[in-house]
Amino acid sequence: MTRNAQSLLGLRHLTLILISFVMLVPFYWVIKTAVTDENIYAYPPSLFPRDAHLFNFVDVWYLIPFPRYLANSMFVSTIAVIGNVLFNAMAGYALTRQFTGRRTVLALFLSCMLIPFQATIIPAYLITAKMGLLNTYLGLAFPMLSTIVCIFVFKAAFEAVPKSLIDAARIDGLTEWRIIVRVLLPLSKPAIATNVILTFIWSWNNFLWPLLITRDPNMQTLPLGLARFLSYMEDTTGALYAFAVMVLAPSILVFLMAQKEFIRGLTSGATKG
């Protein structure tokens, strides 16, 4: 490697380290506040935690029904993830097939992506109510059971599978459903990981929909619990930030576990050849 190339690489790394630092500072500040009882408005702010402890996390666990909220969020996210992988895989496969009106369906999907969820929330609420799913886990996960972005992720992944492989499977007598399960899904692990991560994070952070359809406090999810906690504990920033860390941790963990597949899933189909 020439001297010029080396210094260019060093400069690139330095830039990336600086950008990473800027991105990570808010996270560091949240964690620092969560492990201390410092007031975040204190001036001058201390860079490092003083008298760090973990008791704010214990307070969060006991002062509100945190385990209940956690279990609710887990149930809802699990239902949403399962529904997403199942329905999106089916929809993605259908879109790789040739049928009359395929382009119209694609155009409809793309145009639906432009409509914000807030605009469709009333019909979504009425449909959920008609189905008797208000205040249920399935109702909470209902609008997240299939997402258009994730359908396109599956479509791109399935299109990357050689057509001859699918034809061979069909000649061997596999039904369409078994082609998806036995051939396409095992070859589309990055797309599955992308679906799992995106759906989990969206469902986990969802605030507006659970706020609308839950009646019983025992059915509330973590973001609603966070809002409730904020209203009670607005002057206790340590506990509040500890709550924020506890809400964030599972989705960060899921992302870290599957980030390699996630990035591969998002970039698959980006280039041809």
Copy the structure tokens of residue 144.
């997240």
User: Can residue 117 be called a binding residue for other proteins (CB under 8 A)?
Assistant: no
User: Can residue 259 be called a binding residue for other proteins (CB under 8 A)?
Assistant: no
Closer to other proteins by CB, 160 or 233: give it: 233
Residue type, position 57, single letter: F
Residue type, position 184, single letter: L
Closer to other proteins by CB, 35 or 95: give it: 35
Cβ count within 10 A of residue 153? 25
The answer to whether the beta carbons of residues 198 and 79 sit under 8 Å apart is no
Q: Which of residues 17, 127, 208, 253 is near other proteins by CB under 8 A? A: 253
Measured CA angle at 81 (ends 177, 181), to 5 deg: 20
User: Can residue 249 be called a binding residue for other proteins (CB under 8 A)?
Assistant: no
Q: How far is the CB of 90 from other proteins (least distance, A)?
A: 23
What is residue 46's DSSP assignment? P
User: Can residue 201 be called a binding residue for other proteins (CB under 8 A)?
Assistant: no
Q: Is 271 exposed, middle or buried (0-12, 13-18, 19+ CB in 10 A)?
A: exposed
| CA 26/CA 83 separation, integer angstroms | 33
Using the contact rule CB under 8 A, the part of the chain among 16-24, 41-49, 53-61, 108-116 near other proteins is: 53-61
Q: Residues near 179 by Cβ (< 8 Å), separated by ≥ 6?
A: 93, 166, 169, 170
Q: Which of residues 58, 110, 126, 227 is near other proteins by CB under 8 A? A: 58
Using the contact rule CB under 8 A, the part of the chain among 19-27, 61-69, 75-83, 148-156 near other proteins is: 61-69
Q: Which of residues 133, 148, 233, 248 is near other proteins by CB under 8 A? A: 233
Distances (CA, A) of 102 to 92, 146, 148: 12, 18, 15
User: Can residue 37 be called a binding residue for other proteins (CB under 8 A)?
Assistant: no
Closer to other proteins by CB, 63 or 138: give it: 63
- Residues at the contact surface with other proteins, assessed by CB under 8 A: 53, 55, 58-59, 61-63, 232-233, 253, 257-258
